[in-house]
Amino acid sequence: LLQITVKDIEDFEKSYKGSEEELADIKAAYMDFEGDMDRIMESVLCVDYTDEPRIRQILEQAIDAGEVPSHKAFVKESKQKMTARKRRVEKEAKEAEKTKDELGLGGEDDLKALIQSRNKDRKKEMDDFLAQLEAKYGSNAKKGGRKPAAKKGK
C-alpha cells in the first residue's frame, strides 16, 4: 500500500509549477477548451486563482510565438467574467475552510481518520444493500429460473 503524504503533494507541486510538463498541460487545456479560462483554471493541476496572472502570461506568450492560435474566448474575456471567477473561487475556499473546521480536520491524522470512518460507513451501507438483495432474491433459488424449452411436436 502506497502512502501519499501532504509533503509528497507539496513536493510534486513545487517540481510541477514552472516545468515543461505544466507548460504543455496549460497549452493543451487552452486548445481543448478553446481559450475558456474558467475551464482551463479548473483542469490544470496544482493551480489556484492566484496563479491566473501567470497562466494568462504563459498563454499570451504562446499566442505571440504562434505556438497556439488566438481564441476569442481568451483574448476578449470580460473583466466581469474574471471577477466572477475570482469571487466564486474565494467563496469555495471559505466553504472548504468552514467544512474543515466543522469536521475538526487539522492535520494528516484527522484526514486519515475521516477517510477511514467514511470507508466504514460505505462498507456498512454495502453490507446492508447486499442483505436487502439477499432477502429479496436469495430466499428461493428455484424462483425465476429458466424454464425448460417446450418440445416441438412432429
Tell me if 111 is assigned to some domain: yes
Q: What is the DSSP letter of 46?
A: T
pLDDT of residue 139: 62
Domain membership flag for residue 100: no
Quick one: pLDDT at residue 142? 53
pLDDT of residue 54: 94
Per-residue pLDDT of the chain (154 residues; tens, 9 = 90+): 678 888 888 899 999 999 999 999 999 999 999 999 999 999 999 888 889 999 999 999 999 999 999 999 999 998 999 899 889 988 988 888 888 777 766 666 666 777 788 888 888 888 988 888 888 887 655 555 566 666 666 5
- Which amino acid type is present at position 48? D
On the 0-12 / 13-18 / 19+ scale of CB atoms within 10 A, 49 is: middle
d(CA 32, CA 41): 12
Residues 11 and 71 in one domain: yes
Q: Are 45 and 22 in contact (CB under 8 A)?
A: yes
Range of the domain at 129: 107-136
Residue 17 lies in a domain: yes
Count of Cβ atoms closer than 10 Å to residue 55 Cβ? 19
Claim to verify: residue 25 and residue 74 sit in the same structural domain: yes
Based on the fold, state whether residues 73 and 114 are members of the same structural domain: no
| Number of folded domains that form the chain | 2
Let me know if residue 18 belongs to a domain: yes
The amino acid at 43: S
Alpha-carbon dihedral sign for residues 79, 82, 87, 88: positive
- What pTM value is reported for the model? 0.59
Residue 134 has what pLDDT? 87
User: What local confidence, expressed as pLDDT, does residue 53 receive?
Assistant: 92
Q: Give yes or no: residues 22 and 62 share one domain.
A: yes
Are 69 and 17 contained in the same domain?
A: yes
- What residue type is assigned to position 78 of the chain? S
Same domain, 119 and 74: no
Question: Which pLDDT value is given to residue 114?
Answer: 73
**40 part of a folded domain:** yes
Residue 11 sits at the vertex; the CA angle it makes with 5 and 106, to the nearest 5 degrees, is 40
